[in-house]
Amino acid sequence: MMEKPFRIGLLGLGVVGTAVAHALVQKRGVLERRIGCPIELRRALVRDPDRSRPIDPSLITLNADDILDDPAIDVVVEVMGGEDPAHAYILRALRAGKHVVTANKEVMAKHGPEILTLAAEHGVDISFEASVGGGIPVIGPFKLDLIANEIREIRAIINGTTNFILTRMAADGIEFADALAEAQQLGYAEADPRNDVDGIDAAYKLAILGSLAFHTVVRPSNVYYEGIASLSATDFRYARELGYAIKLLAIARAERGAVELRVHPTLLPETEMLAKIDGVFNAVAVEGDLVGRILFYGRGAGAGPTSSAVVADIIDVAQRSLAGLGGSSRRTAPTYDEQVRFRPMDEVCTRYYLRLLAHDRPGVFAQITHALGEAGISLASVIQKQNVELGEPRVQYAEIVLMTHEAKEAAMQRALRSVRALAVVRDIGSMIRVEG
Amino acid sequence: MMEKPFRIGLLGLGVVGTAVAHALVQKRGVLERRIGCPIELRRALVRDPDRSRPIDPSLITLNADDILDDPAIDVVVEVMGGEDPAHAYILRALRAGKHVVTANKEVMAKHGPEILTLAAEHGVDISFEASVGGGIPVIGPFKLDLIANEIREIRAIINGTTNFILTRMAADGIEFADALAEAQQLGYAEADPRNDVDGIDAAYKLAILGSLAFHTVVRPSNVYYEGIASLSATDFRYARELGYAIKLLAIARAERGAVELRVHPTLLPETEMLAKIDGVFNAVAVEGDLVGRILFYGRGAGAGPTSSAVVADIIDVAQRSLAGLGGSSRRTAPTYDEQVRFRPMDEVCTRYYLRLLAHDRPGVFAQITHALGEAGISLASVIQKQNVELGEPRVQYAEIVLMTHEAKEAAMQRALRSVRALAVVRDIGSMIRVEG
């Protein structure tokens, strides 16, 4: 074993940082055997100096400079989360010739290509396996194992918070607000849940996966996203009757010369593997021209799984560094050299589930189908469901559920405007895209 | 791009070899961009020179020496299958300082540790991702992504042939022989199916995975195996009534200071992910101390998936070779430095499903439970099922299905001998272990 230790600076000592520090300390012997040299947790940046920590207090600092300016530190491990100051710290570490391991999906989604370029310029590694799917290997497989494939499609459940909420809504028929409150109580959702619930977190992760899968620069702005807050218990009931689950799906698809990337609630046939992914679990399904369909499944968040990926990245960087190999290997430096056209959401084709409330009287249904047909939307099936009495004086309404044939998003949006404008339609309860 | 091409010699041009050659030729441009240097399929070894081939006839040879002795060849890709002469060719290639990529589970299971040592001595790489799970990344994740974990358990469906047969038996209530014949017609089973059907193929793969997971040398002789030929349609019917699927599971578990490795038909609760893996698909579920439970799923065999893994290995080897990195990286050289005790099958604890045929008269059941109890087996549930008339003159029998509590295999085997010896017991129809 070589004598010079590989020295680690930790930015952030929250839930993930603590788990990483714990693993580095507790598993030190076995990790050193794997790497082939001693490892040393040299310093950890915290915000609050008063909280008790799992590591030697002399290693704690409140000043990032103590890590970023320490020439003895070989790798900076960023587990603070959020865009700033994490982004700035990562850039500084790379410019100082330090390798970087990060779990930061926001930074990698927004600035990944520039960060990779900077790392290559400075001959250092940037690894980010933990940024998508927690401990499930997904970045590694895209960078290496699937590299011989032309990737046709990614379909993924990559936000555990929303999948927990949707699973609760499906299982117990409760409404979104109640499921969210439960997720917050269990620590699966944050006090301000918008990043998860609105689909932003999943969109960041899809941008990262899309970049790797299609070897091109995907920006968060290339990803359409829509959250789950408007889903209602009613839709889960209808979906089940129709043989579907409702999932927040992140979809990236290369088809007819363009790539589409989108995150939105999706009706999925319950026979599909992805429809069976419940609770806080994540799953990433990939279709490649050689490999066919494969799927990766596991816990996509949490201290243990995330630290599993972060520590693996640290070991990888340490081994490569020990072998005298900097940022030159493609193992950690994916290529973004393909030119692709991004298909705008308007041009995306899917089927649609539609639930609306209309006056319950003869001729109403004909008006609706006519409005849809004018916009180019044809119906695959119709379920006219229960009657509802609303308003004062009471008016009889019928709740109508429709499934369309495949249509372009622009046409569907046009159709929705026409239908909403009909005097006989009181409300469009929901429009959910259908896959599979 | 560097000018010197990376030269490939292909041993075997069967289904997999042809797909590899195809991918190398058809995807040459994009692969060269990923690697950063030209690649060249230099020569391919075939057995039958007369069959039409997808590659330039001048590249074909009948003599392995033309590849193994060609100093210009950088990597030898072995896709012949079988132990000999593949094993000898791999050794020769390594000794000649060539990298080796192989899809050969038998050779890697039987000789993996020696091959890895030889590769390290000669400073070259040996990669074998395609040997388990076809195109599903499993070797790579064990070597790198999961390396921070203490692996507690692997439970895997890693033989597509048997999973196809079991799926057909479960779905249509047909017997083993008919399902096997169907698998043979579809090309999913070989004319001599014993390697798959008897569990040998799965045992090889489990030995490879076990070596990687537990960082120790696992020999095929350390893996207990049992095939599926004795399963009957009746058992699938009972299993379903009890809420179970029957799968040929490959199990590796580290528990109480020892590692157990076994391949046998298993009753699995149908709610488990692995119980839902149907047809020729494979799935590998892993439990690690940090990552928790993860699962990899996809096609475990076939030309496309296998070539996906083989070509990825070729690209990895080429990139590392280009970076001046030989066999020194742990990416392709896992460590087998842990000492473990292997738990013999006799000491393995599981629950058991038992189906037997006994005389249908008072007191019989008491005799059976007494014999089981004497051996230390206690019953969890009992289903006494239909009456059967057999023999001449006709005798009334009762088919009895039992589920036991957890017990040691040795105790169960003792119990089976006692029960079989009872005059009132005509036959023990089946004994299947239960997991989950």
B273 touching chain A per CB within 8 A: yes
For chain B, report the end-to-end CA distance as a whole number of angstroms: 53
Q: What is the pLDDT of residues B415-430, one digit of tens each?
A: 999 999 999 999 999 9
- Average the pLDDT over each of A132-136, B219-223, B265-269, B317-321 and give the range with the smallest value: B317-321
The arithmetic mean of pLDDT across residues B66-76, rounded, is 97
On the question of pLDDT at B331 being above 70, the answer is: no
Residue B19 CA, distance from chain mean position = 22
Contact criterion met (CB < 8 Å) for A136 and B319 = no
Q: What is the DSSP string of B365-403?
A: HHHHHHHHHHTT--EEEEEEEEEEEETTTTEEEEEEEEE
User: B131 and B205 in contact (C-beta within 8 Å)?
Assistant: yes
How far apart (Å, rounded) are the C-alpha atoms in residues A260 and A249? 13
On the question of pLDDT at B248 being above 70, the answer is: yes
How far apart (Å, rounded) are the C-alpha atoms in residues B292 and A135? 8
B27 touching chain A per CB within 8 A: yes
Does residue A193 have a cis peptide bond before it, meaning omega lies within 30 degrees of 0? Answer: no
Q: What's residue B329's pLDDT? A: 45
User: B266 and B434 in contact (C-beta within 8 Å)?
Assistant: yes
Q: What's residue A325's pLDDT? A: 61
Annotated catalytic residue within A110, A205, A247, A385: A205
Question: Distances in Å between the alpha carbon of A126 and those of A323, A334, B328?
Answer: 16, 10, 21
The arithmetic mean of pLDDT across residues B325-344, rounded, is 70
Provide the shortest C-alpha distance from residue B297 to chain A (in Å).
5
- Retrieve residue B67's tokens: 């590849």
Q: Which helix (H) or strand (E) holds B167?
A: helix B160-172
B2 touching chain A per CB within 8 A: no
How far apart (Å, rounded) are the C-alpha atoms in residues A318 and B180? 49
Contact criterion met (CB < 8 Å) for B308 and A290 = yes
Neighbours of B33 (CB within 10 A): 13
Of B135, B144, B273, which has the smallest distance from its Cβ to A297's Cβ?
B273
How far apart (Å, rounded) are the C-alpha atoms in residues B425 and B436? 29
Q: What's residue B362's pLDDT? A: 87
User: A246 and A272 in contact (C-beta within 8 Å)?
Assistant: no
Neighbours of B337 (CB within 10 A): 11
Contact criterion met (CB < 8 Å) for A308 and B273 = no
- A246 forms beta bridges with A267
Tell me which chain B residue has its CA closest to the CA of residue A316: B144
How far apart (Å, rounded) are the C-alpha atoms in residues B275 and A392? 53
Of A35, A291, A298, which has the smallest distance from its Cβ to B304's Cβ?
A291
Residue B279 phi/psi, 5-degree rounding, is 65, -145
Q: Which residues 275-304 of chain A have a CB within 8 Å of chain B?
A: 276, 288-299, 302, 304
Does residue A5 have a cis peptide bond before it, meaning omega lies within 30 degrees of 0? Answer: no
In the predicted model, what is the mean pLDDT of chain B?
93
Q: Is B143 helix (H, G, I), strand (E, B) or coil?
A: helix
Could you tell me which residues come within 8 angstroms of residue B261 by beta carbon, excluding any fewer than 6 positions away?
B206, B207, B210, B218, B222, B223, B224, B251, B252, B342
User: What homologous superfamily does CATH list for A6-132+303-322?
Assistant: NAD(P)-binding Rossmann-like Domain (3.40.50.720)
Question: Distances in Å between the alpha carbon of B340 and those of A30, A77, B263, B292, B420?
Answer: 14, 33, 19, 22, 36
Q: Is B27 helix (H, G, I), strand (E, B) or coil?
A: coil
Q: Does domain B346-434 have CATH number 3.40.50.620?
A: no
A417 touching chain B per CB within 8 A: no
B276 is catalytic: no
SS (H, E, C) A148-172: CCCEEEEEEECCHHHHHHHHHHHHH
Neighbours of B198 (CB within 10 A): 17
Beta strands in B146-300 (DSSP E): 151-157, 224-225, 244-255, 258-269, 281-288, 292-299
User: A315 and A35 in contact (C-beta within 8 Å)?
Assistant: yes
The one-letter code for the residue type at A96 is A
Q: Which helix (H) or strand (E) holds A108?
A: helix A105-121
How far apart (Å, rounded) are the C-alpha atoms in residues A17 and A26? 14
- State in words which class domain A139-299 has: alpha beta
User: CATH for A349-434, among 3.40.640.10, 3.40.50.300, 3.30.70.260, 3.90.1150.10?
Assistant: 3.30.70.260
On the question of pLDDT at B149 being above 60, the answer is: yes
B44 touching chain A per CB within 8 A: no
Largest CA distance in chain B: 86
- Retrieve residue A339's tokens: 């030119």
How far apart (Å, rounded) are the C-alpha atoms in residues B123 and B97? 7
Provide the shortest C-alpha distance from residue B137 to chain A (in Å).
6
Strand A6-11 versus strand B151-157 pairing type = unpaired
Provide the shortest C-alpha distance from residue A402 to chain B (in Å).
30
Residue B174: Cβ-neighbour burial (10 angstroms; 0-12, 13-18, 19+): middle
Could you tell me which residues come within 8 angstroms of residue B311 by beta carbon, excluding any fewer than 6 positions away?
A147, A148, A290, B20, B23, B24, B27, B31
Question: Distances in Å between the alpha carbon of A432 and those of A177, A401, B178, B252?
Answer: 19, 11, 44, 43
Q: What's residue A395's pLDDT? A: 85
- Retrieve residue B222's tokens: 């350390």
- A265 forms beta bridges with A248
On the question of pLDDT at B328 being above 50, the answer is: no
- Retrieve residue A97's tokens: 């010739």
Question: Pick from B339, B353, B132: which is nearest to B254 by CA?
Answer: B339
Contact criterion met (CB < 8 Å) for A146 and B308 = yes
Tell me which chain B residue has its CA closest to the CA of residue A145: B312
A102 touching chain B per CB within 8 A: no
The one-letter code for the residue type at A86 is A
User: B16 and B103 in contact (C-beta within 8 Å)?
Assistant: yes
Question: Pick from B83, B43, B79: which is nearest to B64 by CA?
Answer: B43
- Average the pLDDT over each of A54-68, B1-15, B254-268 and give the range with the smallest value: B1-15
Band the pLDDT of B29: cuts 50, 70, 90. very high
Interface predicted TM-score (ipTM) of this complex, two decimals:
0.94
Q: Where are the domains of chain B?
A: 6-135+303-322, 139-299, 346-434
On the question of pLDDT at B144 being above 70, the answer is: yes
The arithmetic mean of pLDDT across residues B34-44, rounded, is 92
- Side-chain-side CA neighbours of B28 within 13 Å: the count stands at 12
Fold of B6-135+303-322: Rossmann fold (3.40.50)
User: A332 and B321 in contact (C-beta within 8 Å)?
Assistant: no
Q: What is the pLDDT along chain A (436 residues), one digit of tens a residue?
A: 557 899 999 999 999 999 999 999 999 999 998 888 899 999 999 988 777 777 888 999 999 999 999 999 999 999 999 999 999 999 999 999 999 999 999 999 999 999 999 999 999 999 999 999 999 999 999 999 999 999 999 999 999 999 999 999 999 999 999 999 999 999 999 999 999 999 999 999 999 999 999 999 999 999 999 999 999 999 999 999 999 999 999 999 999 889 999 999 999 999 999 999 999 999 999 999 999 999 999 999 899 999 999 999 999 999 888 877 654 444 546 778 788 999 999 999 999 999 999 998 889 999 999 999 999 999 999 887 778 888 888 888 999 999 999 999 999 999 999 999 999 999 999 999 999 8
Residue B12 phi/psi, 5-degree rounding, is 110, 130
